[in-house]
Amino acid sequence: MANLKAIRNRIKSVQATQKITRAMRLVAAAKVRRAQMRVEAARPFTTAVVKMLQEALSGLAPIDLQGMEILQTRDVKTVGLIVISSDRGLCGSYNTTVFRETMQRIMKLQAEGKEVKLILIGLKAAGFFKHIKIEKLKTYTLLPAIPTIQESELIADTAVQFFKDKVVDSIEIIGTKFISMMRSEIIDTNFIPVKLPEKAQHTMMRPERLFEPSIDEVMQKELLPKYLQNVIYQTLLEASAAELAARMKAMTDASNNARDLIASLSLVYNKARQGSITQELLEIVGGAEALRG
């Protein structure tokens, strides 16, 4: 009977866990749909910013760009990596995949004789790299669940300042791109110095744009900062959607595993119960035979 009681308690424990994982799956499923909508809504703005840069470039000579520091490449001795992770766990291999890609990139850069410094986003990244002997320039944790342009502006401005102060010679972003509910991929993109898009090729008449006070000043004070902020914002949106999709999948798998475990434990319980009943019957029959004899 003690064995039966232990199995019953185990089944109840797994059932309670299954209720939690189901609830978390439903919450993640509801959130990931909204996150997907935000990602898809932001992508046209990114395209528009790039198009505006192309149009502005068509009115600038190469010499006009020489005074814009974040466009200038220099001998790369130190590389900054912006690593985007989550603040919470229970999202499968989402963070592990990001960290594996980051470590591979670090080892490759170090093999080339370059120093690596980190800008970490998320509690999981802060925890993972805590004991790794690489300089952490900045750590951002407990950011809003829904990325905002304000935090994107803060991160972008900080990264630009590190570049201007020559703390690093280039900056890359390692994060996750949302593809679909069931798929995402790791991205490693150049951030600073900015690689400008190709100049727009105009094959038809277009409205004339006037930039005040001057096109190069608009580029340096408005377009380029907005472009960098939008790159960070879009990356955070993509990472948020990918994290929620990973959490939904992880909780679905956990719920299915709990269901299978309950079925297996129920079978063991029924067999043990039948064995107990059979044993009791044998004892009764044996006692009756002993009395009769």
Selecting among 91, 156, 244, 258, the annotated active-site residue is 91
Q: Is residue 91 part of a domain?
A: yes
pLDDT at 63: 65
pLDDT at 211: 58
Q: CA 38 to CA 85: how far, in whole Å?
A: 19
pLDDT in tens, 166-201: 899 999 999 999 888 888 899 898 888 887 666 545
Q: Is residue 284 part of a domain?
A: no
Rounded to 5 degrees, what angle do the CA atoms 33, 36, 41 make?
Answer: 130
Q: Let me know: does 196 contact 71? Beta carbons within 8 Å.
A: yes
Q: Catalytic: 91?
A: yes
Ranges of residues in the chain with a pLDDT under 50 are 200, 202-205
pLDDT at 42: 83
- Domain range enclosing 32: 27-197+211-249
Q: Is residue 188 part of a domain?
A: yes
pLDDT in tens, 25-42: 888 888 888 888 888 888
The CA-atom distances, in angstroms, between 17 and each of 11, 92, 93, 121, 238 are 10, 17, 20, 30, 30
Q: CA 129 to CA 80: how far, in whole Å?
A: 14
CATH of the domain at 92: 3.40.1380.10
